[in-house]
Amino acid sequence: MAKDDGKDKKGGGGLVGLIVVTLVALGFGAGFGFFLDGQIKGSAETKSAGKEKDAPAPEAASPTVSASSKIVAMAPIVTNLAQPNDIWIRIEASILVDGMVQGGDALAAQLSEDIVAYLRTAALAQFEGPSGFQNLREDLMDRATIRDRQHIKDIIIHGVVLE
């Protein structure tokens, strides 16, 4: 009878089999990655091309500035917020007015009063997060257009401090 040394000769692939399987898996992974990359880039280019056609030109979004336009500086606005009431806000801003020969300072003072009245009803949560400054700017621009839609073309915020 032959001696059995305890080793079976049933197909183990060994090191060469492991390398082949690893290379095949890497090849499939790389191919799938290139396929997904092409799909994502293709759909992004299609979407951006569609948005470029639909979106207005950036110049159209900005206010029109004529020869009679001027910037009127507003006095710094300092007030406390409604929620929490121990938080103070300071805003330094200017307004872009068009077509006013005189009275820009009076308009800026009236707009400052409107902004103070608005800020006293606002909560800190409205101005937090990534879009908080944009929300503040839009709210102030809404107040400005309510005050004088004909002459006020834009509001320029120089600085905002919350304390």
Same-domain check for residues 90 and 143: yes
Q: How many domains does the chain have?
A: 2
Q: By residue range, what is the domain housing residue 105?
A: 69-162
- Asked if the structure places residue 51 within a domain, the reply is yes
The reply to whether 127 falls in a domain is yes
Whether 148 contacts 106, CB under 8 Å? no
- In the chain, alpha helices (H): 14-54, 58-61, 104-119, 132-147
Q: Is pLDDT at 120 greater than 90 in this prediction?
A: yes
pLDDT tens digits, one per residue of 75-90: 999 999 998 889 999 9
pLDDT of 60 > 50? The answer is no
Strands 152-162 and 88-98, sheet pairing: antiparallel
- 104-119 and 132-147 are packed helices; what angle lies between their axes, rounded to 10 degrees? 130
Reading the block at residue 155, the tokens are 């509001």
What is the value of pTM for the model shown? 0.58
157 and 89 co-located in one domain: yes
Q: pLDDT, tens digit, for every residue of 5-27? A: 555 555 566 888 889 889 999 88
